[in-house]
Amino acid sequence: MATYATNLHTASLNNKLSSLSLSSNSKFSSFSLTVCQPRHKPRCIVLSANVDAKPTVLVAEKLGEAGLKLLKEFANVDCSYNLSPEELCTKISLCDALIVRSGTKVNREVFESSSGRLKVVGRAGVGIDNVDLAAATEHGCLVVNAPTANTVAAAEHGIALLTAMARNVAQADASVKAGKWQRNKYVGVSLVGKKLAVLGFGKVGSEVARRAKGLGMHVVAYDPYAPADRARAIGVDLVSFEEALATADFISLHMPLTPSTSKMLNDETFAKMKKGVRIINVARGGVIDEEALVKAIDAGIVAQAALDVFAEEPPPKDSKLVQHEKVTVTPHLGASTVEAQEGVAIEIAEAVVGALKGELAATAVNAPMVPAEVITELKPYVLLAEKLGRLAVQLVAGGSGVKSVKVSYGSARAADDLDTRLLRAMITKGLIEPISSVFVNLVNADFTAKQRGLRITEERITLDGSPESPLNFIQVQIANVESKFASAISETGEIKVEGRVKDGIPHLTKIGSFEVDVSLEGNLLLCRQVDQPGMIGKVGSILGEENVNVSFMSVGRIAPRKQAVMAIGVDDQPKKESLKRIGDIPAIEEFVFLKL
Ligand SMILES: NC(=O)c1ccc[n+]([C@@H]2O[C@H](COP(=O)([O-])OP(=O)(O)OC[C@H]3O[C@@H](n4cnc5c(N)ncnc54)[C@H](O)[C@@H]3O)[C@@H](O)[C@H]2O)c1
Ligand SMILES: O=C(O)[C@H](O)COP(=O)(O)O
């Protein structure tokens, strides 16, 4: 899955260390989406080399020892359980990652309180309904979960509730302990030959189905997104919602809580059920309208219910549902086996550490999945993409709103053989960060662009030649704007910059209609002049007088003695007076200074 980064320890591109990761503004700068250039003080640090740069992970709910051990090898781990919402908001500004189970609400306020430092939220379990994903994405915070380690535990708990309910185990247990011996009162119902409808045929649902078949039940499932062949493979018929409701003796719920599943079982749906149906819920309390369930039980539609989860957890002490004699309850124990908790702890610790390192997070919930090999191959182009975005936006004249950007990718590869999500995110980063305080990464790039009304369209240009490298060039065009450097405007009226990767280094190869060739490092001075001898010397000596080091120079011209564009790479920013003196050279028609 996604990701932001390449190998932090070894990433080296012709004397550059390039690391793509979650943040560029956190205290934990080791994991920033930056490029470290050896001649400058590195902004990103190789992890193992800097103990002080250890990230801090806040573990807000109990996590298995094996997971804590993994976390501690890499990060400072703060285990603070039972924090109030206010305490969580206070602590979070000091944390790079947060790990929770279902008991902690990670709402917008938490992300806002983190002031950009929180880079990963790890949900030690499946359901992410307690995490505000939209807010996480807006804040560029990756959310990862541990989707597989508690599947069997949840399925086993579902079966435990099913059988316990059918045989009144909990009620009979309480009765015997109260000194009674009520054998006639607790006559149960058999499971064999009964129809079980599994609603939500995902990981847990299909494991429940498998086990229920072993108990001799006839299992059907309703899941609008489940593939029929997976159901067939375990002998389950996929049926419509209506059929499941109308024909099932038992209904077991296994869908996530989303706006479309909220209160899926309600007055209307209970009315469609077979009289005497029994309900099991180990999914989420919110998928049932709890008041409607109480009514359906009292009306004799629902004979019994067995519930592990509740709309509000813990439920109010006087909850009619919880207190109902025909209802068996457990306190959200579905994932609570020793084995599942160790597994979940390891799964989430690995995901969080990996994400902090900028590695692939296979269980990311709010970021596009970019395969590792794609990231490795695109690494130098990612840097080029960001630089071109930065360059293009700095060429826009003040007052022109950037609304429409076209990105063209020239490649000799087949049209469908280029995953541009990472490149698009980096161009977006380059376009937005120089002109705002917003931090952009792969998680929030598309969101941030949309929010700012920035439309980015992409086009593939198929070239002849060797398909060995994924890309030949990237071109960024900004339409409907004026430029502070008129030469950057192409024949068709857009600001146009084009670049290529040469020997692993991003180069600017075209600006407007002028061909140039300068490596995109440090700062760039662009001058348009009348092509004539001595220009390079004149500009160079003004910079030299100020001790500004020139790293490279390139001149592109339309024709000899006509207009030319001179691109000069400088290590430092020249003083205003020097820039003015350059502008005053008679043959210089316009110039602009750009920070890369
Ligand atoms: N009680 C517990 O401790 C516990 C433990 C694990 C999982 N869970 C919960 O169980 C649920 C299922 O977990 P999972 O790991 O199987 O998830 P999953 O994503 O593998 O499966 C969910 C399934 O629900 C289906 N679905 C989505 N919308 C639906 C709809 N409107 N109608 C019917 N089906 C729909 C999806 O297509 C998917 O197949 C989640 O809510 C999870 O949080 C609870
Ligand atoms: O969604 C889940 O993984 C389960 O509901 C388990 O939640 P828990 O981690 O709070 O036990």
CB distance 24 to 434 below 8 Å = no
pTM: 0.77
Q: Is ligand 1 within 6 A of the CB of residue 334?
A: yes
Asked if 501 and 542 sit in the same domain, the reply is no
Mean pLDDT of the chain: 87
| 507 shares a domain with 529 | no
**Ligand number nearest to the C-alpha of 332:** 1
Q: Which of 86, 313, 482, 577 is catalytic?
A: 313
Burial degree of 366 (CB within 10 A; 0-12, 13-18, 19+): buried
Q: What CATH number has the domain bearing residue 393?
A: 3.30.1330.90
What does the angle CA 501 – CA 505 – CA 507 come to, to the nearest 5 degrees?
A: 60
Note whether 237 and 291 are same-domain residues: yes
Greater pLDDT, 53 or 470: 470
Ligand 2 near 102 CB (within 6 A): yes
80 CA distance to ligand 2 middle (Å): 18
Highest-pLDDT range among 227-241, 293-307, 539-553, 557-571: 293-307
29 within a domain of the structure (yes/no): no
pLDDT at 552 over 90: no
Whether 79 has a pLDDT exceeding 90, the answer reads yes
Instruction: Return the exposure string of 447-460: e unless at least 16 CB atoms fall within 10 Å of the residue's CB, then b.
Output: bbbeebebebeeeb
Q: Is 284 annotated in the active site? A: yes
Query: Poorest-confidence range of 37-41, 242-246, 247-251?
Result: 37-41
Q: CA-CA distance, 267 to 16, in Å (whole number)?
A: 64
The sheet that has 455-462: what strands, in order across it?
Answer: 455-462, 404-411, 473-479, 495-502, 505-511, 514-519
> Between 5 and 499, where is the model more confident?
499
| 421 occurs within a structural domain | yes
Predicted pLDDT at 293: 98
- Tokens 């400088």: give the residue: 570
Is residue 378 a contact partner of residue 427, using CB atoms and an 8 Å limit? no
Pocket test for ligand 1, best of 61, 126, 162 (most atoms within 8 A of CB): 126
125 pLDDT higher than 90: yes
DSSP one-letter string for 392-451: HHHTBPTT----EEEEEEEESS-TTS---HHHHHHHHHHHHGGGSS----TTTHHHHHHH
Same structural domain for residues 84 and 130? Answer: yes
283 ligand 1 Cβ < 6 A:
yes
Q: Is the minimum distance from the CB of 283 to ligand 2 under 6 angstroms? A: no
Place of tokens 């708990």: 157
Q: For residues 582 and 571, give the distance between their C-alpha atoms in angstroms, rounded to a whole number.
A: 17
Q: Is residue 323 in some structural domain?
A: yes
CATH number at residue 544: 3.30.70.260
The CATH number of the domain holding residue 61 is 3.40.50.720
Question: In this model, does residue 542 exceed pLDDT 60?
Answer: yes
Please count the structural domains in the chain.
4
pLDDT at 536: 81
Q: Is residue 553 part of a domain?
A: yes
- Tens of pLDDT, residue by residue over 339-393, are 999 999 999 999 999 999 877 577 888 887 777 778 788 889 999 999 999 999 9
306 lines ligand 2 (CB under 6 A): no
pLDDT in tens, 266-316: 999 999 999 999 999 999 999 999 999 999 999 999 999 999 999 999 999
pLDDT at position 521: 86
pLDDT score, position 399: 67
- 127 CA from centroid of ligand 2 (Å): 6
Instruction: Record the tokens describing residue 244, joined without a space.
Output: 């499941």
Best residue for ligand 1 mutational test, from 223, 240, 242, 365 (most atoms within 8 Å of Cβ): 223
Has residue 59 got a pLDDT over 60?
yes
pLDDT one-digit tens code per residue, 196-231: 999 999 999 999 999 999 999 999 999 999 988 889
Does residue 468 lie in a domain region? yes
* Nearest atom in ligand 2 to 150's CA: 3
The torsion angles phi and psi of 506, rounded to 5 degrees, stand at -75, 135
Domain with 549, as residue range(s), is 523-595
Q: Which of 28-32, 471-475, 571-575 has the lowest mean pLDDT?
A: 28-32
The total of other beta-carbon atoms located within 10 Å of residue 356's CB is 29
What pLDDT is recorded for position 22?
41
Q: Is 409 in the pocket of ligand 1 (CB under 6 A)?
A: no
pLDDT at 2 over 80: no
pLDDT tens profile 521-539: 889 999 988 877 887 888 8
Index of the ligand 1 atom closest to the CA of residue 199: 33
pLDDT confidence of residue 561: 65
Q: Is the distance from the beta carbon of residue 226 to the nearest atom of ligand 1 less than 6 Å?
A: yes
Clarify whether residues 265 and 289 are in a common domain.
yes
For 493, left (φ over 0), alpha (ψ -120 to 50), or beta? left
Report yes or no: 379 and 428 within 8 Å, Cβ to Cβ: no
The answer to whether residues 6 and 19 touch, using CB atoms and an 8 Å cutoff, is yes
List C-alpha distances in Å: 590 to 484, 543, 587. 9, 17, 9
On whether both 190 and 176 belong to a single domain, the answer is yes
| Confidence bin at 560 (pLDDT 50/70/90) | low
Catalytic status, residue 139: no
Lowest mean pLDDT among 111-115, 153-157, 181-185, 379-383: 379-383
User: Which of 123, 203, 204, 264, when mutated, tests ligand 1's pocket best, judged by the most ligand atoms within 8 Å of its CB?
Assistant: 204
Q: First vs last Cα of the chain: how many Å apart? A: 29
Backbone angles phi, psi at 587, to 5 degrees: -80, -10
pLDDT above 80 for 439: yes
Ligand 2 pocket, 101 CB below 6 A?
Answer: yes
Q: What is the pLDDT of residue 550?
A: 87
Q: Is 14 in the pocket of ligand 1 (CB under 6 A)?
A: no
Residue 334 CB–ligand 2 contact under 6 Å: yes
Q: Is the CB of 198 under 6 A from ligand 1?
A: no
- pLDDT recorded at residue 374: 81
**Residue 349 shares a structural domain with residue 325:** no
- If you measure from the C-alpha of residue 201 to the centroid of ligand 1, how many angstroms do you get, rounded to a whole number? 7
Mutate to test the pocket of ligand 1, among 102, 255, 282, 287 (most ligand atoms within 8 A of CB): 255
Closest ligand to residue 223's CA: 1
Are residues 349 and 441 located together in one domain of the fold? no
User: Residue 44: pLDDT above 60?
Assistant: no
Confidence of residue 13 (pLDDT cuts 50, 70, 90): very low
Query: Could you count the other beta carbons within 10 Å of the beta carbon of residue 500?
Result: 20
395 within 8 A of 590, measured Cβ to Cβ: no
DSSP string computed for 15-58: TBEEE--SBSSSS-GGGBSEEE-TTS--SS--GGG-GGG--EEE
User: Both 175 and 316 in a single domain?
Assistant: yes
Residue 19 placed within a domain: no
Longest dimension (CA), the chain: 110
459, 406 Cβ separation under 8 angstroms:
yes
Among 53-62, 189-198, 269-278, 582-591, the range scoring the smallest mean pLDDT is: 582-591
| Chain-centre distance for alpha carbon 333 | 28
Same domain, 92 and 234: no
Name the catalytic one among 332, 421, 507, 528.
Answer: 332
Judge whether residue 23 has pLDDT over 50: no
- State in Å: Cα 255 to ligand 2 middle: 13
Confidence (pLDDT) at 302: 98
Confidence label for 559 from pLDDT (cuts 50, 70 and 90): low
Rounded to whole angstroms, how far apart are CA atoms 245 and 223? 13
Atom of ligand 1 nearest to the CA of 225: 37
If asked whether residues 197 and 264 sit together in one domain, one would say yes
Do 297 and 178 share a domain, yes or no? yes
pLDDT for residue 43 is more than 60: no
Query: How far is residue 541 from each of residues 513, 534, 547, 582, 594, measured CA to CA in Å?
Result: 28, 11, 9, 10, 20
Is 14 a domain residue?
no
CA 563 from chain center: how many Å? 47
Position 76 scores a pLDDT of 97
Residue of higher predicted confidence among 557 and 131 = 131
Q: Is residue 558 part of a domain?
A: yes
Of the ligands numbered here, which is closest to the C-alpha atom of 100? 2
In this prediction, residues 29-51 reach a mean pLDDT of 28
